[in-house]
């Protein structure tokens, strides 16, 4: 598995796309700071690029590098969390279009209102992948937009499988829960809105 993660990180650093098992479902991933790579994800999924993407981060320290201010309520939620939970944070730090850099998210990885959904994965292999990359990883379901989310690797369509540059060990799918995370939107004023429970 160690070699598979290292290969995946090399692909991600070169702007490639990977197919990998997250703590929820199989996902298409790329470096969330690379605008061209994020554009490739939208193209592969045939998805409107106005729709926001979910990102994975290794811990709150990584999140803090890409969010202007983390609301206290978000810290509290992360600390008590024991199930996959995506938090939509206000005030993402993103680069200008065409000027991607590691210290900022790609502008097309951030919602139009400047918010961004980020989850800290709960499975070791997924977490290790993000840690080794050293920056947030895009995590969007491995399907064409509008089609059902595949419950396992075998259900992922050939167009998706052939559209990525690397598949991280398909034998790891037992690590996924097979269902999407809950989504919670937080505000700087400690407001909480449950988007998906």
Q: What is the mean pLDDT of residues 19-42?
A: 93
β-strand pairing of 116-119 with 54-56: parallel
Task: Work out how many domains the chain is built from and give that number.
Answer: 1
3 state DSSP class of 125: helix
Residue 86 in this model has a pLDDT that exceeds 70: yes
**Confidence at 92, pLDDT banded by 50, 70, 90:** very high
Percent of the chain with pLDDT over 90: 56
pTM, two decimals, is 0.89
Confidence (pLDDT) at 87: 93
What is the rounded distance in angstroms from the CA atom of residue 81 to the CA atom of residue 76? 9
Q: How far is CA 6 from CA 50, 89, 146, 167, 189, in A?
A: 32, 29, 32, 12, 40
CATH number, domain containing residue 101: 3.90.870.10
Least confident of 31-35, 81-85, 99-103: 99-103
Q: Does 154 score more than 80 pLDDT?
A: yes
**Structural domain of residue 26, as residue ranges?**
2-196
């Amino acid at each position: 598995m160690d070699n598979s993660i290292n290969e995946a990180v090399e692909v991600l650093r070169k702007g490639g796309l990977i197919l990998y098992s997250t703590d929820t479902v199989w996902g298409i991933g790329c470096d969330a700071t690379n605008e061209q790579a994020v554009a490739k994800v939208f193209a592969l999924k045939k998805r409107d690029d106005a729709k926001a993407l979910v990102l994975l981060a290794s811990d709150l320290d990584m999140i803090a590098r890409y969010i202007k201010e983390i609301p206290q309520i978000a810290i509290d939620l992360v600390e008590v969390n024991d199930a996959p939970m995506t938090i939509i944070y206000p005030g993402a730090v993103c680069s200008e279009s065409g000027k991607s850099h590691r210290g900022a998210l790609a502008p097309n990885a951030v919602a139009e209102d400047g918010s961004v959904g980020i989850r800290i994965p709960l499975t070791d292999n997924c977490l290790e992948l993000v840690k080794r990359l050293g920056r947030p990883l895009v995590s969007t379901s491995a399907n064409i937009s509008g089609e059902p989310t595949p419950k396992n690797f075998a259900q992922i369509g050939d167009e998706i499988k052939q559209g990525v540059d690397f598949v991280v060990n398909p034998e790891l799918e037992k690590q996924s829960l097979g269902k999407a995370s809950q989504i919670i939107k937080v505000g700087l004023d400690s407001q909480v809105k449950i988007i998906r429970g």
